[in-house]
Chain A
Amino acid sequence: MKRRDIIQKIGFSALFACMAANIFFLGGIIFFIAARGLSSINWAFLTQAPRDSMTAGGVAPAIVGTFYLTMGAIIFALPLGVACAIYLTEYSPKGWIVNLLRISINNLAGVPSVVFGLFGLTVFVKYFGFGVSILSGSLTLGILALPLIISASQEAMTAVPQSIREASLALGATQWETIRRVVLPAALPGILTGVILSVGRVAGETAPILFTAAAFYVKGYPHSPFSEVMALPYHIYALMTEGTHPVEQTRIAYASSLLLLGLVLSVSMLAIYIRARQRKTYNA
């Protein structure tokens, strides 16, 4: 065998090893959590409230809480993020200011989530006086989701060919009509992908709701936006760090983790499906 061939073999083997390591860890996480959590998941677990100081019963209030927080965050972040993306891609004059804004938004996506949590505590909980509530938590998570939604929307709108914008304008449409009737519909699948990925991210975050929304235990279900709530990620955190029955609590924590993982994964799968469909539409 020639020297070059040997180098190539070694290179491929190294790449394969890296890929295998990735698969091992990813598969390991899923297997590990499934192995420990699957046996505890049943209908009662999904529909009942915790009982006997967290050692029995289910996680239904945490599922409901996570649902409210996530929906609230998206309701807040989606219109704001899409509007911002429209301005940045369609209206703002091109130049260094817009580039700086774009970089800032991307950087915002990299800010540690606990920083968002502290911001939410200061601004929403204290300054606006919303207290520790679904509203404060949703707004905080919304700000966390904003850069994701802005980036995804910007990308989706930039991907809409300039030629169909020109087609619309050349027919006597104004710029806004062009955006509303041509650009946004064409970008919608991409924007939705961004939304769904944000849902996955937001649903799984613990730090931003730590000081703004979540409670260790709330009796009953939330009845207003100003209620404190339980949420799955915080529930897992609390089960593992507080309480007096570590064995029972650990079992429930694994089951909750598996549930959360399943939720986030299925949401991501949905995003991949939508994106694949979008590609098909464009390449038809």
Chain B
Amino acid sequence: MHNVDYEKQPGMENFHPSLVKGPVGINMNYMGEADVFGPEAKISARKVNFYYGAKRALNNINISFSPRRVTAIIGPSGCGKSTFIRLINRMHELVPGTRFEGEILIDGLDILSPACDAAELRKRVGMVFQKPNPFPKTVFENVAYGLEVNGVTDKHLIEEKVVDSLKKAALWGEIKDRLKDSALGLSGGQQQRLCIARCLAVSPEVILFDEPCASLDPISTAKIEELILTLKKEYTIVIVTHNMQQAARVSDNTAFFLMGDLIETGRTDRIFKAPRDKRTEDYITGRFG
């Protein structure tokens, strides 16, 4: 689409050529991009189209996500960013009357194919939602849920995992005495970290965050962002966000969606300093959206 000589683009001079790595293997030439940060792709989407009934919500999306990196997906409301990440753990199947084309590979396997079991996939690809959605159960039961559903019966193992997950989610210190209290009694920020702990308990490889701070105050937001930065050491993270400062703070790479199209991807610092597409520039400078 855009045959840009990016070496000559402003902002490109400030990173080392060794960091410039193509999104590996497939679709080297997508959007003319080659500055996504990180090793070989953990997830790659190829030629993904998505339809709600007759309405097309995603147009030919080609994108890769590097392992142990945070990729932010930004874009105005209705641009398809949530639709897109809900394909990665097949939550789109919950909405009747939808249809997709193309494929999404995780470690080389097409997770959209009928041969791939959705429940198995979701153990590997966890999700944290826009509004904290703890079960109306105790704190402990919330975190243990995923383990029990997945057939873990050993009480000690469950307990160990629950404690471990709560610690990883930076929640243990605050609620270690409240494990038997209802999760609904926690504050919004604590509930969201509980949802993260719940997700970590099933040992996923990928975590999808769908605007995780949309309903949180700034302090809780800061805690979640800090947590995301810790988690990326172990997990591949994709985060949808409306908040561009947030994208700038937490992500390594950024993808900009607009009206179902993937407009631009690249290293976050480059996208914010030197967007190549006029539309990206307009969006991040607040001219629309």
Contact = CB atoms under 8 A, between A and B. Distances in A.
B122 A172 contact: yes
A170 B146 CA distance: 9
B10 interface: no
A141 to B, nearest CB: 33
Contacts of A161: 133
A173 B199 CA distance: 12
Contact of B182 (A165, A177, A284): A284
Interface residues of A, number: 23
A186 interface: yes
Given A94-B96, A281-B184, A284-B184, A172 B146 contact: yes
Interface in B172-215: 182, 184-185, 195, 198-199, 202
Nearest to B181: A284
A171 B136 CA distance: 16
A170 B135 contact: no
A167 B133 contact: yes
Contact of A172 (B91, B120, B136): B120
Given A167-B133, A169-B122, A172-B123, 20 more contacts: A161-B133, A164-B135, A166-B94, A166-B127, A166-B129, A167-B198, A168-B135, A170-B89, A170-B91, A170-B129, A170-B199, A171-B146, A171-B149, A171-B150, A172-B120, A172-B150, A181-B149, A182-B135, A186-B135, A284-B182
Interface centre among A164, A173, A181 (most CB of B within 10 A): A173
B191 to A, nearest CB: 11
B282 to A, nearest CB: 33
Contacts of A185: 136-137
Interface string A144-186: 0000000000000000010111111111111001000110011
A164 B96 CA distance: 18
